[in-house]
Amino acid sequence: GAALAVGAAATVVALLLAGTAPGFDRGGATSFTAGGINIGGTVTPLIDLGKDLRRPTAVRALTYTTSAPTGQYLKLASLDQFTGSVWKHRERDTKRLAEGTPIGPVAGLSADVPTSKITTTVAIDNMQSRWLPVPAPVQSVKGLTGTWSWDPDDLTIGGINATTQGQDYTATSLLLQPTADQLKAAGGVVPEDVQRDLFLPTNMPAIIEKTAIAATEGATSEYEQAVALQDYFRDNGFVYSTQTPLKQGYDGDGARVIAAFLEAKSGYCVHFASAMALMARSLGIPSRVAEGYLPGASGGGSASNPGEYTVTSDDLHAWPELYFAGVGWVPFEPTVGRGTIPSYTRADTAAAAPTSAPASGATTAPKRI
């Protein structure tokens, strides 16, 4: 199957979601409907988030209802292989998805971590992709048409002879609720199958590791280091902009782009997510970049459907996920002006905070700069 590729900085999330998911049969070109998000048909597609975030008018991608107390990030794919110039989804074998059958297990999750199940019903509108948007980690899916498979490593779902167009489905997912003590004690020995998520090329710009070390000074655990990295981007003069990287020429060339971003302190989610993921790896914390959607805007709901949300092209997003033994892959939100800082990274609410979605509640798109 084709690997989902993305230029390491300017292109980590989903507006040109082309081709097929890794391990899946290759299909023809696809496209978003109603003048929405165009999707090419290349074997190793380039996901151009910035292009769609710079569009003058947002396009509705999907709507969903959820039993969760807040809106959910909808994950499309994990980008876990970094070559120095490209983030991409590592190719591996997948398993056929059967209606309602269990998906899992969740990598790294111990029985000591409290969890709860949520259900999310999604209706696709102007969005066509061979990746399925679901709250992570997903446990089962019902209602899909066509043939789909799932990746045992990251539990993402991709179409074999199907796309998201016209789909209406219900996903069951987990909300992970580790305690503050569990998060602080997590980490340590990295499992063999996760060690590849530590890899960095030998010619990485020095500013990436130097900034990571400075930002995490005084941290006494890997989790505290992760929180310090997230806080660094939100507390040190960084600004959200889809235009500055384009105008200043650092919108799409891997590690060098991230180095320029750390100097300029201006960019969008691709830059923030990539930078935090690379900085985490430089500190010995396994990381990857997730792509998908922010929770979207709440429609107010009703007594029968209290959690109704609308998701548009403005909600396309990238965020880093870091691995902690005993808890698994934990999402963070370093992008200033997007989403909400995860409650489990705030000192006063770190205990019993769900890790399925980094943000709490609906989000508002930032002012276009």
pLDDT of 358 reads 59
pLDDT of 300 reads 57
pLDDT of 297 reads 93
The torsion angles phi and psi of 130, rounded to 5 degrees, stand at -90, 0
User: What CATH number does the domain located at 180-291+316-345 have?
Assistant: 3.10.620.30
Residue 308 bridge partners (DSSP): 65
Token pair recorded at residue 369: 């700069």
Q: What is the pLDDT of residues 12-24, one digit of tens each?
A: 333 333 334 444 4
In three-state secondary structure terms, 34 is: coil
Of 365, 344, 336, the closest CA to residue 235 belongs to 336
Give me the amino acid identity at 333.
E
pLDDT-derived band at 292, boundaries 50, 70, 90? very high
Q: What is the pLDDT of residues 122-153, one digit of tens each?
A: 999 988 888 999 999 999 999 999 999 999 99
Q: Where are the domains of the chain?
A: 180-291+316-345
Q: What is the pLDDT of residues 79-126, one digit of tens each?
A: 999 999 878 888 889 999 999 889 999 999 999 999 999 999 999 998
pLDDT of 55 reads 78
Of 142, 140, 168, the closest CA to residue 155 belongs to 140
DSSP 312-332: EGGGEEEEEEEEETBTEEEE-
Sequence length of the chain is 369
In three-state secondary structure terms, 6 is: strand
pLDDT-derived band at 283, boundaries 50, 70, 90? very high
Which tops the pLDDT comparison, 346 or 259? 259
In three-state secondary structure terms, 217 is: coil
CA 50/CA 69 separation, integer angstroms: 30
For 44-48, 299-303, 308-312, 334-338, which range has the lowest pLDDT when averaged over its residues?
Answer: 44-48
